[in-house]
Chain A
Amino acid sequence: DTEVTQTPKHLVMGMTNKKSLKCEQHMGHRAMYWYKQKAKKPPELMFVYSYEKLSINESVPSRFSPECPNSSLLNLHLHALQPEDSALYLCASSQGWETNEKLFFGSGTQLSVL
């Protein structure tokens, strides 16, 4: 199994809603990532978890709250989002937070905030 699975594939939410994005991998990877991608732009790193601990937070607003319940799962909790947060949210994983590791990406969640 070389897949990173993300759910849901599409999500529409209002600015007062609370929702969660989910990511799962069963490759035994110990590093997991959240990226945000706007249309026709490259992905931008949001968070990195290494061995289930938050290693990097790229100054992401607190309305985005990551969680890593175990080594296979990564969640992104959303609350009070703004329309400009509409984007494709990508999860990725790698063997470790090492310098030569290959990244594997999920298919993403297309988020629309109304």
Chain B
Amino acid sequence: KQEVTQIPAALSVPEGENLVLNCSFTDSAIYNLQWFRQDPGKGLTSLLLIQSSQREQTSGRLNASLDKSSGRSTLYIAASQPGDSATYLCAVRGVSGANNLFFGTGTRLTVIP
């Protein structure tokens, strides 16, 4: 069964810093990987979706990369702001199984003003 791990579980950075969040998965047979943001007690907001044939996707200050063969993805946030504080989840869509969307456990980011 696919296992998705996110390290670190929590991260605090001062405002303005660039930072990288990591996501690793055990089965490289995937269709895509999606990064989400979740504020406390709220739903998930989709940030970026990378198809298995792609290497990276960019949206504003966010850049997500995918190395399918090594089972890794990173989410790069440039010039972090206090409003970026949230939990970031990655989710991998595998090629096998009826329920084939696997979530990581998340990284809780705090950006200190």
Contacts and interface: CB of A to CB of B under 8 A. Distances in A.
Q: What band does the interface of chain A fall in when counting residues whose beta carbon is under 8 Å from B?
A: 20 to 34
Interface string B30-66: 0110101000011111100101000000000000000
B104 A90 contact: no
Contacts, number: 52
Contacts of B28: none
A36 to B, nearest CB: 12
A106 B34 CA distance: 16
Interface string A70-106: 0000000000000000001010100000011011111
B42 A107 contact: yes
Interface of A: 4, 6, 40-43, 45, 48, 55-56, 58, 88, 90, 92, 99-100, 102-108, 110
A100 B32 contact: yes
The 6 closest A-B pairs by CB, nearest first: A42-B103, A105-B44, A107-B43, A99-B31, A105-B43, A108-B43
Contacts of B103: 42-43
A45 B31 contact: no
Most-contacted residue by chain A among B36, B44, B98, B99 (CB, 10 A): B44
12 contacts: A40-B106, A42-B106, A43-B103, A55-B98, A88-B41, A99-B93, A99-B100, A100-B32, A100-B51, A103-B44, A105-B36, A108-B43
